[in-house]
Structure 1
Amino acid sequence: MVWQVVALVAGMVSIAVAAYLYRWVMSQPNESSAMAKFSRSVQEGAAAYLKRLFQALGALAVVIMLIILFALGWKSALAYIVGSTCSAVAGYFGMHVATRANARVAWAARQGLQKAFPVGFFAGGVMGLSVVGFALIGMTLFYIIFGDPQVILGFSFGASTLALLAKAGGGIYTKTADIGADLVGKVEFNLAEDDPRNPAVVADNVGDNVGDVAGMGADIFDSYVASVVAVMILGASLFAGTAHGESYVLLPLLLSAAGILASLLGMLFVRTGESNNPGRALNTGTIVTAILFALFTLGVVFLLHIDRPWGVFWPTVAGLLAGVVIGFTSDYFTDIDQKPVQNTAAAANTGPAIVILDGFSYGLLSIVPSIVGICVAMVAAWVLAERFGIAGTYGVSIAAVGMLAITGMIVSSDAYGPIVDNAKGCAEAGGEAHETIAVCDRLDAAGNTAKAITKGFAIGAAALTVLALFAAYAETVNLTQLDLRNPGVLVGVFIGGMMPPLFSALTILSVGRNANLMVEEIRRQFREIPGLLEGKAPPDSSLCVDIATRGALKELILPAVLSLTLPIVVGILLGKHALGGFLAGSIVTGIIFAILMANAGGLWDNAKKYIEDGAHGGPGSEAHKAAVVGDTVGDPFKDTAGPSLNTLITVMSLSATIFGPIIASLALFEL
């Protein structure tokens, strides 16, 4: 019980520090009425979206809870509701502070980068620490009360359901607004980014928050919880009846607590210093956090009296290193200072077709180092665990926990991105001086890099997490092998492999349909509101916000239903072996598509920004127009379909694992 209390206290400390950071951020001044007005518009739009999202989630959650109640009992049903609620509360807190910090960052930017940067980063810290705090408290309480990791699986499934809706819905919302604002504002009327005359600017800024704060937070909350639960299930199964069996179940909770402590200390090192380089400050914080976590892990495995400490320490470190490497691989392919982005920007002189070809090709190329990194981490974790007498499946699973343990720091850096992006919008809307906007630009550049690194990190984390969940599924249904000569397994592999591209197609088509409505509305306002283009009359931003909100939630229905039900249908029709093949196929194509779309989209975005900084003719040039087309194609790649695939494969793996025993007993055919 002592170690459970330690984990519980760590979660509470995380929430307490998040509350302190919230109060500090809210105490920062904002004395510009124009910026405050813009910020309030973003707050109202975000609140309206969250209200509708939570209403939709509530209806879906009640249905799923009733199914779990009759299928698995009240304990799992309760865990499901609490899991979805904890994820929602963490997302709400993060969104609440993010939409209020933007104007405060912009006001602080008047005094320079060193004043503005801490406001943006600590506002992001509220989200990061809320995610890990609520997750660890929820998991630990359920283990203290029920003592059964299978019950906590319901908590994880609840978090996954919300993550699927929040990430996919947020992605559709943000790209509907972003594409509409770019196509009409930039291409047709030659307006700058965040120009207050553009009717879609407020919706675009709201989208940054619902996609990259609430959405990404829910996504990593989902992977964070799923990785811990998978290890707890494997620990309870593989080490049942041994002298140290309980230690292997408790280990992921204690590692999560160590990760919170490392993140809190790492945040103290996030300072721009004399270099005035926010990107370097964020990277320093991440590296320090990783080093501290590795040291704390060593302490945890010995304090728990694990009989084979090195067999869990080295796989944990392997997962941690893989997360950092995969994140910085994404940075190389999307960084404005690297060759892939600059080469693609140069290709814009030829036209949009070559921009798209180059970006897509670099996206394909970026798959190689990321997949190699995941494979190396997986093999290293397996071999190192086996070398010290621990099951390789447990080693791979604990590597996922190692990668995700520093989530507090990772999500803080990620949430910083949309906050400072919104700050630039506030500065533009408030008519701030060029120097203030330039400071916001530097903060935003670091934020874009942080978001790219986090997307890579999230993909790598999802990869190891679903491998851990696959092992948990195999243990749950007693699946000892998958024979590719079995037609049922092959059918499962193909159907599972089909799901990520199908899900991507549905979400990207959703963005296209909604963006078309947004474009027509923006054109209508420029055509019918006298003086709008001249800046003499304000746009009706609320109509654009409403189009994005209604469209995002409407388009979620089909992808959500497919992802939640198809694994169960495959299992009931074809049996547990076919379902195992289904999960394997979805993992492979899901990770590959996620890497491709995240990195290609980020590359197109920064190629456009590279030209906007003055290269190849600058804004308004033919190269710029070609780059905007590439960026428009990349928007739903990197912010809608790509990141949602992490959640998709996790949700399907959890659905198979939680309903596994029932599926096995109801299977019509067992091929």
Structure 2
Amino acid sequence: MDLIVFVPIGATLALLFAAYLTFTIFKLDEGDDAMKRIAESIREGANAYLIRQYKGVSIFFLGMFIIFFILSRMGYVSIFVPFAFITGGFFSGLSGFLGMKVSTNSNARTTNAAKKSLNGALKVAFASGSVMGLVVVGLALLDLGIWYYILDWYYNALPEIERIAQITSNMLTFGMGASSMALFARVGGGIFTKAADVGADLVGKIEIGIPEDDPRNPAVIADNVGDNVGDVAGLGADLYESYVGSLVSSSALAVAAGLGIKGVTIPLLVASLGVIASIIATFFVKAKEDATQKNLLRALRRGIYVSSIIVAIGAFFIVRNVLGSNYMGVYYSILSGLIAGVLIGFFTEYYTSDNYKPTKKLAESTKTGAATTIISGLSLGMASTAMPVIIVGISIFVSFTLSGGQNDFSLGLYGIAISAVGMLSTLGITLATDAYGPVADNAGGIAEMSNQDPIVRKRTDALDSLGNTTAATGKGFAIGSAALTALAFIAAYKDSIETLVKNGGRAFEFNLSVLNPQVLIGLFLGGMVTFLFASRTMDAVGRAAGKIVVEVRRQFKEIKGLMEGTEEPDYAACVDICTKSSQKELIGIALIAILTPIIVGLLLGPNGVAGLLVGATVTGFVLAIMMANSGGAWDNAKKYIESGVLGGKGSEAHKAAVVGDTVGDPFKDTTGPSLNILIKLMSMVSIVFATLILTFGIL
């Protein structure tokens, strides 16, 4: 039996269940006229942003298609690369777009549900997040399934071993399209949302002294729009790319390990199993009406644990029946990644949730001002990197060793790649716990702007605070899987160069000793490029936020009656500024990821590129964790104070916490999440341009 058929079946199940959830959400009432009007403004702003972004991105993709087509005619890349590049980008963007459409139609419905009960609001917001998670895995499996059958048909005349080698090498390259779209979506959306958030906070909360989400703040609609374009559309494209990357890299390394079609089948079957596990797990997410923060967190965690247990049991039978009992080490590699993902999520939660000591200690530091708040937050983020790095290190060692790496190095690398698949196998439910947060955040804003009963805002705030923790957990999960996937890509890059040499390419032999000057220089450049990239994204947020500050100040000064609430602010002006600023910054930032490995390859050869990728993976992984956790902790420390401790809202401690949260916004929602895309995109570019690097690089 052709087991690959389960891939389109898994894709269909995911998309059908996502459609069912969407239909269920859209049947619910959006609430009163004020709520509907605000929700419509958010939808219009989000749609306008994405239309403008996709227009700009389409020009980039058209240019890259032409370049790849020319290179394919010259024999430097496969003829399928330009077309696969386009489809990878299209499906990545589509997953984010569909998730955003559902989230912008769920926010007011969540607010309306919160009028009746906390559990009702949780169900609506979580259903919206589940649509995002299932759309991502469904479209990813659909894309992979389509390309597999196209390539299998095209190379049908070749013997099985050669055919599967051609299929996986071509499938490996189309991840670059997904990575490119993910970078645009994550960085562009991150700049938009954090420029609006920072600008709104600096003037509204700190200078003017009005509450968060106050309808008098001209940037408040832009802030709510940003939650959707950055934390939903950007998140979806980001994790689509991670998911696809783990599957194609493990498939390619299966061929290198001599496992053939059976080894390729394993990650695809595990991913399909993960779809079923995620769907089942959604039914376990529910909370009681008087639920505390811990109860809510336990409800979401229950869904992740249930899906993980189902995958852990099902993967055993998949490996045993497909590869046989001699390869059960591959199962333990999957289990290792699955456990590592859960542990990374737990320690991220420990460092960012106000249920635990680190964030409570951070909140205490606000009593002595903004400076100590910043210092404590940075310290917390740095300390939080230890456990994820140790966990990933153990997972790498366990996966490599148990899969048979000590006897067969290629098999060990396959074990590392398959552990990333294990970590991402429950993405359908894991992403749901992340993507529901922006919906809850928007729901709170709508409650505030439409003057709902305080109990409504109290319920949405409870969900929003939980969303900050689950979002931080989701980012830690994404970053951890990115590290494993990037390692698999580096191995695939090395294998690609060696395959080209065997097939008559330029004579070359790797020397990856750290004493090799090419490798050493590459390591330093890789470490540097992550900080350069971080600098550019942070600076972009700062410039865009500065424009929002000027605009908000202008409106408070020039619009008479704005502070009294008798006149409405010009929300559209702030949305337009954020949109234009984010798009203006994108191309230069994206070129860092795309051009760096090509330039290094031409100047330092394949050895230099290997060093570059290792250096970027190590520093990017640690820096991303630090920034995501610092930002998440600053945000939750602020909400912890707003709950009534240390003087509550308006106190000096609260003002210091707002400053910390303002600094943390681009940390956790722009730069941190974008770094995991950077390290994978550079690896993908290196693989796609391997022939060019080998042919023209200085060896």
| Letter of the 2:286 counterpart | R
**Given that residues 132 and 221 in structure 1 are in contact (C-alpha distance below 8 angstroms), is that contact kept between their aligned partners in structure 2?**
yes
Q: What is the CA deviation profile of residues 90-143 of structure 1, one whole-angstrom value per residue up to 9, with x for unaligned ones?
A: 111100010010000100111111221111111111111000000011112111
Structure 1 CA distance for aligned equivalents of residues 413 and 137 of structure 2? 25
Structure 2 CA distance for aligned equivalents of residues 666 and 449 of structure 1? 48
Aligned to 1:439: 459
1:318 is the counterpart of 2:318: no
4+ residue stretches of structure 1 with deviation over 4 A? Answer: 387-390
1:179 is the counterpart of 2:198: yes
Aligned to 1:118: 123
Aligned to 1:18: 18
| Letter of the 2:517 counterpart | P
Aligned to 1:365: 383
**Given that residues 65 and 80 in structure 1 are in contact (C-alpha distance below 8 angstroms), is that contact kept between their aligned partners in structure 2?**
yes
Gaps spanning 5+ residues in structure 1: where?
Answer: none
| Letter of the 2:2 counterpart | V
Aligned to 1:269: 284
Aligned to 1:492: 522
**Given that residues 248 and 306 in structure 1 are in contact (C-alpha distance below 8 angstroms), is that contact kept between their aligned partners in structure 2?**
no
Structure 2 CA distance for aligned equivalents of residues 181 and 529 of structure 1? 17
Aligned to 2:74: none
Aligned to 1:29: 29
Q: What is the CA deviation profile of residues 541-587 of structure 1, one whole-angstrom value per residue up to 9, with x for unaligned ones?
A: 00000111100110112110111111011101210001000101101
Structure 2 CA distance for aligned equivalents of residues 275 and 248 of structure 1? 49
Structure 2 CA distance for aligned equivalents of residues 456 and 537 of structure 1? 43
1:257 is the counterpart of 2:276: no
SS in 2 for 1:348: helix
Structure 1 CA distance for aligned equivalents of residues 357 and 434 of structure 2? 24
Pairing 1:213-362 to 2, within 5 Å after superposition: 213-239=232-258, 245-273=260-288, 276=291, 277-306=295-324, 308-362=326-380
**Given that residues 406 and 412 in structure 2 are in contact (C-alpha distance below 8 angstroms), is that contact kept between their aligned partners in structure 1?**
no
Q: What is the CA deviation profile of residues 14-70 of structure 1, one whole-angstrom value per residue up to 9, with x for unaligned ones?
A: 111111111110001123110111101110110011111111111111111222222
Structure 1 CA distance for aligned equivalents of residues 674 and 239 of structure 2? 11
Pairing 1:218-617 to 2, within 5 Å after superposition: 218-239=237-258, 245-273=260-288, 276=291, 277-306=295-324, 308-386=326-404, 391-478=411-498, 480-617=510-647
Structure 2 CA distance for aligned equivalents of residues 495 and 331 of structure 1? 32
Go from structure 1 to structure 2 and tell me whether the alpha carbon gap of 1:319 and 1:424 turns closer, same or farther (over 3 Å shift): same
| Letter of the 1:204 counterpart | D
1:208 is the counterpart of 2:208: no
Q: What is the CA deviation profile of residues 311-355 of structure 1, one whole-angstrom value per residue up to 9, with x for unaligned ones?
A: 210000000111111111111111012111111111111111111
Equivalent residue for 1:104, pick from 101, 109, 133: 109
Superposed displacement of residue 275, structure 1:
6.2
Superposed displacement of residue 444, structure 1:
1.3
More deviation, 442-451/313-322: 442-451
Structure 1 CA distance for aligned equivalents of residues 183 and 362 of structure 2? 32
**Given that residues 634 and 657 in structure 2 are in contact (C-alpha distance below 8 angstroms), is that contact kept between their aligned partners in structure 1?**
yes
**Given that residues 331 and 453 in structure 1 are in contact (C-alpha distance below 8 angstroms), is that contact kept between their aligned partners in structure 2?**
yes
Go from structure 1 to structure 2 and tell me whether the alpha carbon gap of 1:73 and 1:395 turns closer, same or farther (over 3 Å shift): closer
Pairing 1:67-146 to 2, within 5 Å after superposition: 67-71=67-71, 72-146=77-151
| Letter of the 2:525 counterpart | I
Aligned to 1:157: 176
Superposed displacement of residue 73, structure 1:
3.5
**Given that residues 465 and 636 in structure 2 are in contact (C-alpha distance below 8 angstroms), is that contact kept between their aligned partners in structure 1?**
no
**Given that residues 482 and 577 in structure 1 are in contact (C-alpha distance below 8 angstroms), is that contact kept between their aligned partners in structure 2?**
yes
Superposed displacement of residue 237, structure 1:
2.1
**Given that residues 320 and 328 in structure 2 are in contact (C-alpha distance below 8 angstroms), is that contact kept between their aligned partners in structure 1?**
no
Superposed displacement of residue 387, structure 1:
7.0
SS in 2 for 1:539: coil
Structure 2 CA distance for aligned equivalents of residues 480 and 16 of structure 1? 47
Structure 2 CA distance for aligned equivalents of residues 588 and 7 of structure 1? 33
Alignment root-mean-square deviation, CA: 1.3
Go from structure 1 to structure 2 and tell me whether the alpha carbon gap of 1:428 and 1:275 turns closer, same or farther (over 3 Å shift): closer
Superposed displacement of residue 661, structure 1:
2.5
Superposed displacement of residue 303, structure 1:
3.0
Aligned to 1:645: 675
Structure 2 CA distance for aligned equivalents of residues 182 and 306 of structure 1? 58
Structure 1 CA distance for aligned equivalents of residues 338 and 511 of structure 2? 29
Structure 1 CA distance for aligned equivalents of residues 232 and 82 of structure 2? 28
Amino-acid identity (%) = 44
**Given that residues 263 and 323 in structure 2 are in contact (C-alpha distance below 8 angstroms), is that contact kept between their aligned partners in structure 1?**
no
Superposed displacement of residue 301, structure 1:
1.2
Q: What is the CA deviation profile of residues 405-447 of structure 1, one whole-angstrom value per residue up to 9, with x for unaligned ones?
A: 1111111111100001101111111111011111111111221
SS in 1 for 2:354: coil
Structure 1 CA distance for aligned equivalents of residues 405 and 512 of structure 2? 25
Structure 2 CA distance for aligned equivalents of residues 350 and 305 of structure 1? 61
Aligned to 2:42: 42
| Letter of the 2:149 counterpart | I
**Given that residues 492 and 578 in structure 1 are in contact (C-alpha distance below 8 angstroms), is that contact kept between their aligned partners in structure 2?**
yes
**Given that residues 35 and 426 in structure 1 are in contact (C-alpha distance below 8 angstroms), is that contact kept between their aligned partners in structure 2?**
yes
More deviation, 9-18/379-388: 379-388
SS in 1 for 2:484: helix
Structure 2 CA distance for aligned equivalents of residues 80 and 150 of structure 1? 14
| Letter of the 2:127 counterpart | F
| Letter of the 1:152 counterpart | M
| Letter of the 1:4 counterpart | I
Aligned to 2:187: 168
Aligned to 1:66: 66
Aligned to 2:505: none
SS in 2 for 1:427: helix
Structure 2 CA distance for aligned equivalents of residues 586 and 389 of structure 1? 29
| Letter of the 2:233 counterpart | A
TM-score, normalization: structure 2? 0.93
Go from structure 1 to structure 2 and tell me whether the alpha carbon gap of 1:111 and 1:204 turns closer, same or farther (over 3 Å shift): same
SS in 2 for 1:575: helix
Structure 1 CA distance for aligned equivalents of residues 323 and 330 of structure 2? 12
Structure 1 CA distance for aligned equivalents of residues 621 and 661 of structure 2? 22
Structure 2 CA distance for aligned equivalents of residues 102 and 42 of structure 1? 10
SS in 2 for 1:556: helix
Structure 1 CA distance for aligned equivalents of residues 290 and 565 of structure 2? 38
Structure 2 CA distance for aligned equivalents of residues 595 and 116 of structure 1? 30
**Given that residues 14 and 138 in structure 2 are in contact (C-alpha distance below 8 angstroms), is that contact kept between their aligned partners in structure 1?**
yes
| Letter of the 2:311 counterpart | F
